[in-house]
Structure 1
């Protein structure tokens, strides 16, 4: 083999070694990330910037009806959010709700979604709504709710939930979020607290 042939052979081997060394960090980098489920197809199209309380409630209602967990999470005000259950419905499970946050909201809705058909459309309606403003950026929204659910877990037999919902909403960076949610049973029907208590555990 001539000097020229050995030289080009050396160059080729060096190039292959360099390429191999470059690939190793990429493989290691890829292993640092976990794959996550893609957002639901309608996640972006169903969401409107909640610059008004009405839009926040519309986003919340649509997310509940379509079981869109991504958009559901977006309606809450992050770490400071808290859910206050109906005491009767909570029963002996009061500790379950002691530090109920956005994580628990997500987990309960995922539990409900796993037991619902892809094409399921729940129905949520509010009536007798009243808004009480404390400042320009905080208010309490109170209303009676009816939530009709369709799911496959036969151990949870109720299909219609009823009660009073009281949401403390706050505006930050011109977007309204739910800072706290108080649930109250108003009839012999099960309430939203019952739904959350069951589906976060099952």
Structure 2
């Protein structure tokens, strides 16, 4: 069951007519745990998430058919265990875009995601890695069509966060 969003939940969402706007919407949604805007960042049935293999570990099959609905479910699970005024902080560094066609590109960036949540079994507060987003433009709006996560250090990655909160 989904919890209703506040009436002004979409007010900080801008039409993603540029990749930079898509990334700003995505970052804001993660930081404020806005499920509606988070889900709006992804493109429907073709979307796929490819986990970091080390982080996925024995749960690799969990990610086999990971789609937008799993994104929403893990995100809602995280939101339920977070403060009413979320304090997450997401930063991207080095964001080169590689265009394949005028309507598709890849964004590759290092990320740091500071998570504030109340589930004491998930102890990490800082996640980091490399995010590779396949973005596509349709009807003049950019959406995330694919996401590949890669660990870059001994810190947990976004894959670890998704794995924990989709299961718990």
**What TM-score results when the alignment is normalised by the length of structure 2?**
0.97
Structure of greater Rg:
1
CA offsets per residue over residues 8-38 of structure 1, 9 Å max, x none?
A: xxxxxxxxxxxxxxxxxxxxxxxxxxx9643
Contact 2:10/2:36 (<8 A) preserved = no
The answer to whether residue 149 in structure 2 is matched with residue 191 in structure 1 is no
CA offsets per residue over residues 64-92 of structure 1, 9 Å max, x none?
A: 00000011000000111000000000000
Q: Which residue of 2 aligns with 1:69?
A: 35
**Hey, what's the Cα distance between the residues in 1 that align with 2:6 and 2:152?**
34
**What TM-score results when the alignment is normalised by the length of structure 1?**
0.81
Q: Which residue of 2 aligns with 1:94?
A: 60
CA offsets per residue over residues 49-68 of structure 1, 9 Å max, x none?
A: 00000000000000000000
In the TM superposition, what are the counterparts of 1:31-180 in structure 2 within 5 Å?
Answer: 37-180=3-146
| Unmatched 5+ stretches in structure 2 | none
**Hey, what's the Cα distance between the residues in 1 that align with 2:127 and 2:166?**
17
Contact 2:52/2:149 (<8 A) preserved = yes
Q: Offset of 1:98 from its aligned partner?
A: 0.1
**Hey, what's the Cα distance between the residues in 1 that align with 2:166 and 2:71?**
8
Contact 1:163/1:192 (<8 A) preserved = yes
Contact 1:162/1:189 (<8 A) preserved = yes
| Unmatched 5+ stretches in structure 1 | 1-34
Secondary structure in structure 2 of the residue aligned to 1:76: coil
Q: Which runs of 4+ in 1 moved over 2 A?
A: 35-42
Secondary structure in structure 2 of the residue aligned to 1:77: coil
Aligned pair count reads 168
Q: Offset of 1:42 from its aligned partner?
A: 3.4
**Hey, what's the Cα distance between the residues in 1 that align with 2:6 and 2:114?**
22
Secondary structure in structure 2 of the residue aligned to 1:129: coil
Secondary structure in structure 1 of the residue aligned to 2:96: strand
**Hey, what's the Cα distance between the residues in 2 that align with 1:98 and 1:162?**
22
**Hey, what's the Cα distance between the residues in 2 that align with 1:40 and 1:125?**
25
Contact 1:127/1:145 (<8 A) preserved = yes
